[in-house]
Chains A and B, each alone.
Chain A
Amino acid sequence: MLFYILRRVLSAISVVIVTVVASFMLFFVAPTDPAGVICGPKCTPDRLADISRSLNLDQPAVEQIGLYFKGIVAGRDYSAGGVTRHCAAPCLGYSYILGVPVTDLLVKAVPVTLSIVFGGATIYLLFGVLIGTISARVRGTTLDKVSVGTSLVIGSIPYFIVALVIALYATFLPKSQYTSFFENPVQWASGMLAAWLCLGLTNSASYTRYSRASMIEALGQDFTRTARSKGISERRVVYRHGLRAAMTPVITIFGVDVAYQLVNTIFTERIFQLPGLGTRIINAFNQYDLPVLMGGVIVGATVLVVMNLVVDILYTVLDPRVRLG
């Protein structure tokens, strides 16, 4: 088991490295001119050369990638216009536009996004599974039809419409703002509430359907009949035997889904004006701020790989058949 996890961690790290190299190639080696962008329209050739040198753009691509990784692992020094700034590890470079270390920007943005996504995900997982399970139990009844119909309707409304409706009409909710959890947990939660509701509401629809389908399948399995034949309560049959089997595929979807949510919270962040990762990346994109984009890519890739790893490990816990060694 330990060996398995170790192997998976190593392969996860290599995936991130490959992603970084590939993005680096795309962004830095492609025929773009970052120095020109920074220098602006009234640029002298001297100034341009100086900027290129300070960004190491005059060096071969391999060298640049090497320096980039060195920065991540050990930190690196930037010198521009005779001034040298040390960028401590993990250094992802400086934002061209804001002139601050990318690491600092991300350290501020990531907790916001994490708060939105994990809060929202908790809501939609709980509600989706709960409603889906109840729906599966009363399959075919009016209650089931209402819940399936509602989830279909909510699931078909574009996400940003739901977000807008909440932002515009649910004014009784506390004002959206980000406060660190460690500073003031109550304020953190109340500031996040609107975003959570939005994320939770829209996604619970699909989780209701996953859970319902998965639960119906589990309840139709032979082992459910065996459980009934033992003389245990129907509640126990459904929640111990059925739900346990039904949740495995749902958890798998959930893990990967949360990872994507982390990278795609841009709507939520924009509408509720929360300074998260999505906002940061979109700004960087518009301003051609390559180091920040690279940082976003690294965080995104890492999150995806880590969540996949978590799901795989969780899977071995949930399903003894895939347990190894």
Chain B
Amino acid sequence: MTDQTVRSPQTVTRTPRTRAEGEEAYLEVSDLHVQFPTADGKVHAVQGLSYSLPLRRTLAIVGESGSGKSVSSMAILGLHDRKSTWISGSIKVGGKEVVGMSEKSLMSYRGADAAMIFQDPQSSLHPFFTIGDQIMESYRAHHNVSKRAAKARAVDMLGRVGIPNPSRRVDQYPHEFSGGMRQRAMIAMALVNDPKLLIADEPTTALDVTVQAQILDLISDLQRDFGSAVVFITHDLGVVAEIADDILVMYGGNAVEHGPVEKILGTPLHPYTWGLLESIPAVSGTPGPLHPIPGSPPSLLAMPTGCAFHPRCEFKDRVGGDLCRTLKPELISRTADQGRTSRCHLKEPDKVFETEVLPRLP
């Protein structure tokens, strides 16, 4: 149990705040590192991630598979196996330090302060217990109430997430629910203890498109009602535009761009974000070939030197002194706008985007 080394929280380079001052961060991640020792070496899945999020706001974390989105979010709930994971840095949720938290404190923290909605409701719900059973278990883990009261609460929650006839549905098993209904039940389960932080890990990926929109609406509505902070992990920029206040773009275990959604989607400043936008297929207009980002995400065992994105970046030769290959850029403000940051050496990225990238976008 002592394999995990916990470094004391380090000096935090806080990302500049983009919102009205006075809102205190409920979730604060500083210099988070997550590593998995394997036979081939240490997989450095998250490499110094920092961000903060106040209540009533939604942060979308975007990136390809293997960029560290899910790994960093699982760390927020302390879900990584202690024996096989090495975590350092700091994650503060409502003032509580989660990194290095004892198993006992984690028990009372998980589900109550922060809860998670997982990607595939089919496999994330236990197939052998009724929906009601599973929701009641969550509720009774944090509330000392009778089964009857817990069940009433479960029925109430199912009603709130828009499941028709909840008092009958509560006794059904997950396989008797449709995909969308199952995800609603998952949401009900996550929110049953009124957590102030909700982490949604690609909650709509396994659902079909019409159901996706309903689930997104539901999460937004519930966020308003419950006043919670939401971390929304996705690789779908369409979803981001719909639900998020802020975006954090992750690449190779680190944030490469962070800021308010309208700014980042309006004038993205990082070539990786440009690549993501370009690879969205156009639904209307003339159909053309897709423009995927060339290459694949870096191996977390052996990161490229300099900027992690440089092997796939078409702009790397624009930067003088071969900086992209030698020096890892900082996540700092790159334009006059102090409310957003990016991690790229390119000079005047906003102009590059407008003149070269924007015309190519579908």
Contact = CB atoms under 8 A, between A and B. Distances in A.
B36 interface: no
Contacts of B129: 244
Interface string A285-325: 00000000000000000000000000000000011110000
B12 interface: no
Interface string A174-206: 000000000000000000000000000000000
Contact of B141 (A222, A231, A320): A231
Contacts of A83: none
Interface in A219-275: 221-223, 225-234, 241, 244-245, 248
Contacts of A321: 127, 173, 175
B325 interface: no
Contact of B126 (A229, A231, A245): A245
B137 interface: yes
Contacts of A318: 128
A245 B186 CA distance: 19
Interface residues of B, number: 31
Interface in B129-174: 129-130, 137-138, 141-142, 173
A228 B118 contact: no
B299 interface: no
B120 to A, nearest CB: 6
A308 to B, nearest CB: 22
B111 interface: yes
Given A225-B118, A226-B118, A231 B128 contact: no
B128 A227 contact: no
Contacts of B130: 320
A233 B111 contact: no
B169 to A, nearest CB: 14
Contacts of B111: 229-231
A245 B127 contact: yes
Nearest to A323: B173
Contacts of B125: 223, 226
Nearest to A319: B128
A251 to B, nearest CB: 12
A75 B199 CA distance: 72
B77 interface: yes
Interface stretch (B90-98, B101-109, B265-273, B302-310): B101-109
B103 A234 contact: yes
Most buried by B among A229, A248, A319, A320: A229
A222 B121 CA distance: 9
A229 B115 CA distance: 7
B145 to A, nearest CB: 15
B124 interface: yes
Contacts of A248: 128
B112 interface: yes
A223 B108 CA distance: 19
A223 B138 contact: no
A232 B142 CA distance: 9
B8 interface: no
A229 B199 CA distance: 11
A221 B173 CA distance: 17
B79 interface: yes
A225 B142 contact: no
A231 B123 contact: no
Contacts of A241: 126
The 8 closest A-B pairs by CB, nearest first: A231-B111, A231-B110, A222-B123, A223-B126, A222-B124, A320-B173, A230-B138, A230-B111
17 contacts: A222-B120, A222-B123, A222-B124, A223-B124, A223-B126, A225-B124, A226-B189, A229-B118, A230-B110, A230-B111, A231-B138, A231-B142, A231-B193, A244-B126, A244-B128, A320-B128, A320-B130
Given A223-B127, A229-B111, A230-B111, 11 more contacts: A225-B118, A228-B110, A229-B77, A230-B137, A231-B108, A231-B193, A233-B107, A319-B127, A320-B127, A320-B173, A320-B175
Interface of B: 77, 79, 103, 106-112, 115-116, 118, 120, 123-130, 137-138, 141-142, 173, 175, 186, 189, 193
